[in-house]
Copies of this chain bind each other. A is one copy, B any other.
Amino acid sequence: MDRIKRNERLGAMSRILTASPNRIFTLSHFCELFGTAKSTISEDIDLLSATFDQFELGKITTVAGAAGGVVYRAAMTQRAKDELLLSLSQRLSQPGRLLPGGFLYTSDVMSDCDAAQGMGRILAERFYEARPDFVLTMETKGIPLAMMTAHHMDIPLVIARRDSRAYEGPAVKINFVAGGSGERIETMALSRRAVKPGQRALLIDDFMKGGGTLRGMVDLMREFSVQVAGIGVAIVTAQPEKKRVEGAQALLILQSTDEESRSAQVTPAE
């Protein structure tokens, strides 16, 4: 094999690191892959890191210690975050999105891969320090966002169901107060084997009005002796101010709705 040039190594390292965000790769891994000395790989990392900074492509950093190595995190600049959240706000504020009963149609935005990826990057960054072991969401609309958040944190995704299906095995079921206009009691279920006692959960959902579903997720985690490390939601309603859970971090705020024009006013949360 020909000696591998620096520009080839940087092209390959960029792809390998960014395909697995928040995963630590040892320097030895790249030494073996490229047949190169550790000092050379260190220089490569410094160069790549500076390039990522310059073109705002995320952060490449080295982690010291026995379990050390190099890691990529898809951190966005404040400007990129602002742009994303503003464009999502505008999309969600388009006339015609408001459905009878005051519901906002969000399915297309919530299952848009780029939107889910962008919001997932922001939420991942907010919760790195909380060190969750997995992301929990309640089916259905929050799954793409929860999945992208889990991907960017390099932790598993766990999905709670509306009912305990036969193919999930022994499950824990709880009731929760589903919000919206008329309150009603619904059921949430999670397979016994999905999580372990003592783990830490990051709760992610697409929408929070009263906070009933997230309250249910908190209660569900208590049944599993799992600690809640954080709560992140895509859209939170401005009203009611008082929610059933506290400390949720939202990306967008549904400020108001106008039944006349069938539209809503959505703004970035900060």
Contacts and interface: CB of A to CB of B under 8 A. Distances in A.
A255 to B, nearest CB: 18
A107 B168 contact: yes
B107 A194 contact: yes
A139 interface: yes
Contacts of A157: 111-113, 144
Contacts of A139: 139-140
Contacts of A112: 156-157
Q: Is the interface of A mostly helix, strand, loop or mixed?
A: helix
A77 to B, nearest CB: 15
Interface in A96-127: 99-101, 103-108, 111-114, 116-117
Interface in A187-203: 191, 193-194
Contacts of A156: 108, 111-113
A16 B58 CA distance: 11
Nearest to A74: B19
A147 B113 contact: yes
Interface in A16-71: 16, 18-20, 33, 47-48, 50-52, 54-55, 57-58
Contacts of A143: 140, 143-144, 147
Contact of A12 (B57, B111, B116): B57
A150 B108 CA distance: 13
**Which of A7, A101, A106 has the largest count of B CB atoms less than 10 A from its CB?**
A7
Interface residues of A, number: 61
A88 interface: no
Nearest to A155: B113
Interface of A: 6-16, 18-20, 33, 47-48, 50-52, 54-55, 57-58, 99-101, 103-108, 111-114, 116-117, 139-141, 143-144, 147, 150-151, 154, 156-159, 161, 166-169, 180, 191, 193-194
Given A12-B55, A99-B168, 20 more contacts: A6-B7, A11-B11, A12-B52, A12-B54, A14-B15, A15-B15, A15-B52, A20-B114, A99-B167, A103-B166, A103-B167, A106-B167, A111-B157, A111-B158, A111-B159, A112-B156, A117-B151, A139-B140, A143-B147, A144-B147
